[in-house]
Structure 1
Amino acid sequence: MRRLILPALAAIACASAAHADDPKPRPVFTEDGTVKVPAFELPPSAFLSPEALAQQKARARMGLPIMDSSRGEMSAVEARKALARYLQPQVDRYLKMFAVDVSETTIAGVPARIVAPKGGKADPKRVLINLHGGAFSTCWESCSLIESVPIAGTGNFRVISVNYRMGPEARHPAGLEDVEKVYRDLLKRYKPSQIGVFGCSAGGALTAQLGAWLPKRGLPQPAALGIFGAGGLRFGAGDSAWIASAIDGSFAGPAKPGEKAIDMTKGYFDGADMGDDVLSPALHPAVIAKFPPSLVITGTRAMDMTPAIFTNSKLLEAGVRSTLIVGEGMGHCYIYSEDLPEAKAAWQVIVRHFRENLK
């Protein structure tokens, strides 16, 4: 045994000496637990699809990202128009890819959009509610279609996308109130076991909030939730908020002391307790234990990875059936990218999740 230990100690000593002479910067750990991370180059993941790798390479010549925190400095009207212009080509591609009908409607006084397979092929016994992304302040025009069209077209679902109230015109819980109205109306024609709810980014967060909100309102849970690009926690907290700001660039990291944080929600959560049991249900075991089966999707380079992973862990701890997809090398709401095999694979899992859980 001594003959085995001594060579091992010698090897460790040699490695330590080599590191001491190595000019490569290394992490510095401080007494309060902070890690000072040196600058480094992050190559694309070896596990990316060829299409995803091409997309990573294209970042060198890309313009405005799909979601850009600089919009926090625009007015809501400017941000909505800018994002709609930027995303319109993508919306057009989706409408060519999938044979769907899109119609505008109002449900219980709330503006909504119905996306369904052409020719009345939608599953008559299942319906999905979509809560679009857009930082609680924008993207109704585009994100509602980018999220709903592939799921309606791939899974033959009737998808109702809700144009819930946002900032700066409204404050929390206005969005939840609007979704509740639509949900109550659907309960007149569908059983709770026939209804699913999903969304990405702000819509994913709102979906998680709805899981906490409905029991408080005396309403049954839907059959399943899809929490994508988000979690049952506030954004901007945890490791991924810091890491994603450095390697993705679409979102600013948490504000440092003395800095003014950009509020992309345009004041939607002003005055709200972001740690309460509706806005952060993952922090409240008794609340998240009431959730229906959930599918959570994030990416290793997404600012929402911490909320997503933490929420999935708490769902499992509470005995709730939960499935987590973490897209390797993927950023925020990568399921928006119709040309990525990773996104198409996620669509198939989303469809299967709702088919298996909606009866």
Structure 2
Amino acid sequence: MTQQQRDALDQLLRDAPLDLGGDVAEQRVVFEEMMAAIPSPADVTTSSGSLGGIPVVNVEVAGADPASVIFFLHGGAYAIGTAASSVGLASDLARRAGARLVTVDYRLAPEHPHPAAIDDAVAAYRGLLDSGLAASAIAIAGESAGAGLAAATLVALKHAGLPQPSAAVLMSPWADLTVSSESISVKAAVDPALTPKGLRRRAVDYVPAGDRTAELVSPIFADLTGLPPLLIQAGSHEILLDDATRLAARAATADVAVRLEITPGVPHVFQGFAAMLDEADAALTSAGEFLRAHLAGPRP
């Protein structure tokens, strides 16, 4: 774990063409081109599918247990990204967890504002249950907005009377769309990927009118009682640091088993750079072990 690795990643992100707060159509193209340049791992097979009427990408890693499934929600500030573009990080998590994975193509803002994304996530999860899979064989995971959406989905499942998955891994969650945490300003200078202005623009896209403190928008304000065990990971060099720490505290107050892992000196969703950053490799290994432990529980 070297400062040289962290510095190289910081510079890579600062030089990247992606502007999360830029024109949506342009940034979607930029993001897809960036992700397409990364080759798919040789041990990963993908196929298109549908769950509950929602398009998904099925991700199979050689040697994984087909009886265990990670239900994955991609990031992109609710406006950018696709299930296909999430396969790199998602498959790395699945490999370490020893499970198959489905990544969900939920609808994006501004064309489809809230509650489209949460409705799609719940519908796809319900479809997974309807396929005959027990909730105890499912874990939910996400990164950035997808991690916030994963937390909101758990709350929505509770309201819908659906069984909770066995566990959840939330990587750098965007859990407060009021964009008002102290770290938003305090960490702005060291965050190479996100800006307060960019997040605020995407928050308006996702919730153009209405209450951004609503629990299915910003799960940091939700009653988290009854949620499954959570692993929340973040880097100390991200403006969403407080979203992670506040969400963990909120979960602990609600008697939820929660583990918070803050890695110093690394940026937002650093886990996606395991090939070049030792801290990312270690975080994904920790997440995989966490999921293995909970997915290995008794099946009904």
TM-score, length-scaled by structure 1: 0.76
Change (3 A) 1:61 1:151: closer
Question: Equivalent residues in 2 for 1:149-160 (5 A)?
Answer: 149-160=91-102
Residue 187 of structure 1: SS of its match in structure 2?
Answer: helix
Runs of 4+ in 1 over 6 A off after TM superposition: none
Q: CA RMSD in A?
A: 2.2
Change (3 A) 1:143 1:310: farther
Equivalent residue letter for 1:192: A
Aligned partner of 2:285 among 340, 343, 348: 348
Percent identity between the aligned chains?
25
Aligned partners of 2:5 and 2:277 also within 8 Å: no
* 1:73 paired residue number: 22
The Cα of 1:177 is off from its aligned counterpart by 1.0
Structure 1 segments unaligned to the other structure (5+ residues): 1-48, 256-260
* 1:53 paired residue number: 4
Q: Which has the higher contact order (CA 8 A, sep 6+)?
A: 2
The Cα of 1:87 is off from its aligned counterpart by 2.6
The Cα of 1:217 is off from its aligned counterpart by 1.5
Change (3 A) 1:240 1:123: same
* 2:48 paired residue number: 104
Aligned partner of 2:261 among 325, 340, 351: 325
* 1:113 paired residue number: 57
Does residue 1:147 correspond to 2:89, yes or no?
yes
Aligned partners of 2:137 and 2:166 also within 8 Å: yes
Aligned partner of 1:173 among 98, 115, 119: 115
Tell me which structure has the larger Cα radius of gyration.
Answer: 1
The 1-side partners of 2:83 and 2:178 are apart by 23
The Cα of 1:61 is off from its aligned counterpart by 7.2
The 1-side partners of 2:174 and 2:251 are apart by 11
Question: Equivalent residues in 2 for 1:1-359 (5 A)?
Answer: 49-50=1-2, 53-57=4-8, 59-60=10-11, 64-65=15-16, 68-69=19-20, 72-74=21-23, 76-89=24-37, 91-92=38-39, 95-96=40-41, 99-118=43-62, 121-140=63-82, 143-188=85-130, 189-230=132-173, 232-234=175-177, 236-253=179-196, 262-264=200-202, 267-284=205-222, 287-338=223-274, 339-358=276-295, 359=297
The 1-side partners of 2:9 and 2:286 are apart by 27
Aligned partners of 1:147 and 1:200 also within 8 Å: no
The 2-side partners of 1:229 and 1:248 are apart by 12
Change (3 A) 1:210 1:142: same
- CA-to-aligned-CA distance 1:60-87 (integer Å, 9 cap, x gap): 5766438633xx231x322111111123
Aligned partners of 2:14 and 2:192 also within 8 Å: no
Residue 238 of structure 2: SS of its match in structure 1?
Answer: coil
TM-score, length-scaled by structure 2: 0.90
Equivalent residue letter for 1:308: A
